[in-house]
Structure 1
Amino acid sequence: MSIDQAEHRHPEHTVVIASGGLDSTVLAYWLAARHSRLTLLSFDYGQRHRVELRHAAEIARLLHSRHEIIDLTSLGALMTGSALTDASVAVPNGHYTDESMVVTVVPNRNAVMLDIAVSVAIAARADAVAFGAHAGDHSVYPDCRPEFVERFARSVHAANDGLLVPEFQVLAPFLSLSKTDIVRLGIALEVPFARTWSCYRGQEVHCGTCGTCVERREAFRDNDIDDPTVYRAA
């Protein structure tokens, strides 16, 4: 299914889960191009790559959008065992198709973030929440799969009966797209890719070898365009 075939209307006001990464940034630009007012919502959950929050703030500035950072550091401290929140677990090198990537799972992360986004949306009378899950995430992250999005949307309507604006939507328009597809879309939207952050190691420059870096590099290469990202490893 192409993104143009997605069965949803264009929302007037969307609360977007914005990590500062490539996927959520392209999503924000895609929604802005459809004239949706945006509230970008980022989360500090103690991730080792919290440098991404600065990038999310910069994207919000470029889009002239409201940006809020939700403090979940106390929750993140309890989520041991993930390479993203536990300093004793090394971030693996490789590709998302590798078994080693399972250590980058943060349990229930998208569900927690989306639940908070729904609460913010209700208070702001927004008519949608959105996140940038895509097809490349499906093998590793259960909360990026179509089944999760469908069931989460049902739970939102059940839990907030009478509180949601009419035709409230939970949007994940990139579910059937690859990272390569998303970069191609971002090119068309003139997304400032150099202002986005992907690396899970969260150092001064992208490491170039972790799962997110490998997938990012592939996406630019597969589109045969220059990658503006600076990587530590060639």
Structure 2
Amino acid sequence: MSTTPSRPAVILLSGGLDSATCLAIAKSQGFAPYCLSFDYGQRHNAELKAAARVAKSLGAVEHRIIKIDLAVFGGSALTDASIDVPTDGHTSANEIPVTYVPARNTILLSYALAWAEVLKGDDIFIGVNAVDYSGYPDCRPDYIAAYQHMARLATRTGVEGSPLTIHTPLISLSKAQIVETGLALGVDYSQTVTCYKADDEGRACGVCDACRLRAAGFTDAGVTDPTRYQPR
């Protein structure tokens, strides 16, 4: 008897801890994962090599890397070399940090939506989180709900009665819970890159917000952090 999953799902895969966990969850739920990553002009593009490793190790049916250029607009520390990545860990709870990339999730979800239609799939997975996160407006549950509503109105599949679902399995989990979930599903987190200032070898800086959240997740989960760090 064949155990090959039959339902295609597009997984937005950055190569970081959260998206790797999201891919593992989708596969565990019986979806055939089609992974989509983006070379969008980010300064930390070591994550793309990580995404390729993760997609292969977790058995993606296909992995595509799409090149777009959000650096042409800048406006974010991740796409504009003139803006420093914060390393002091003191971002206000009510402040959207400079690492927010304008409209990024809206753009990436639109590509995922297009591929899902071509695959005749009704499912997209994205690893947004509204608990241990950096305050990005496009990681909130109400944003995802609004985008899903728009997608169901804007697509042939939605109009013809097969509405798309945007899955956000991590949205209410702490970083420790995400780590625990991924480990239970066999994710090798040593293959992932989360840092905003990772070097060409994928080694983390250890001081940016992404590094701080990741490290705290492993500590709170009580497991060894496999992250490779840059010499200090």
Q: Does 1:131 find its partner at 2:126?
A: yes
Which amino acid in the other structure matches residue 14 of structure 1? A
Q: How many residues align?
A: 223
**Residues 96 and 140, structure 1, Cα contact 8 Å, conserved in 2:** no
SS at match of 1:61: helix
CA separation of 1:30/1:95 partners in 2, compared to 1, >3 Å: closer, same or farther?
Answer: farther
Partner residue of 2:66 out of 56, 67, 70: 70
Give, in whole Å, the separation in 1 of the partners of 2:59 and 2:214. Answer: 26
Out of 193, 197, 201, the residue aligned to residue 201 of structure 1 is 197
User: Please, which moves more after superposition, 160-169 or 115-124?
Assistant: 160-169
Structure 1: how far apart are the matches of 2:80 and 2:105?
18
Residue of structure 2 in register with 1:172 after alignment? 168
Give the secondary structure class of the aligned counterpart of 2:97. Answer: helix
Q: Could you tell me how far 1:170 is from its partner in structure 2?
A: 1.0
* Stretches (4+) displaced over 6 A: none
Contact residue 209 and residue 233 of structure 1 kept, 8 A: no
For residues 25 and 201 of structure 1, the distance between their equivalents in structure 2, rounded to whole angstroms, comes to 19
Q: Decide which of 28, 32, 38 is 1:43's aligned counterpart.
A: 38
The answer on whether the counterparts of 1:18 and 1:41 sit within 8 Å (CA) in structure 2 is yes
1:80 CA displacement: 1.6
SS at match of 2:195: coil
In 2, the alpha carbon distance for the partners of 1:11 and 1:17 equals 19
Structure 2 unaligned segments of length 5 or more: list them. none
Q: Is 2:117–2:157's contact at 8 Å kept on the other side of the alignment?
A: no
For the residue of structure 2 that corresponds to 1:92, the secondary structure is: coil
Structure 1 alignment gaps of length 5 or more: 1-9
Aligned to 1:146: 141
| Match of residue 109 from structure 1 | 104
Q: How far, CA to CA, are the matches of 1:165 and 1:41 in structure 2?
A: 25
Q: Distance in 2 between matches of 1:212 and 1:32?
A: 25
Kindly provide the amino acid, as one letter, of the partner of residue 29 in structure 1. A
Aligned to 1:156: 151
What is the match of residue 6 of structure 1? Answer: none
Percent of aligned pairs with the same residue? Answer: 38
Q: 2: CA distance between counterparts of 1:154 and 1:11?
A: 25
Deviation at 1:130, TM superposition (A): 1.1
Q: Give the counterpart of 1:81 among 75, 94, 108.
A: 75
Quick one: which amino acid aligns to residue 119 of structure 1?
Answer: A
Please, what TM-score do these two structures have when normalized by structure 2? 0.89
For the 8 Å contact 2:11–2:34, the answer to whether it is kept is: yes
C-alpha change, 1:165 and 1:67, in structure 2 (3 Å) is farther
3-state SS in 1 of match to 2:217: helix
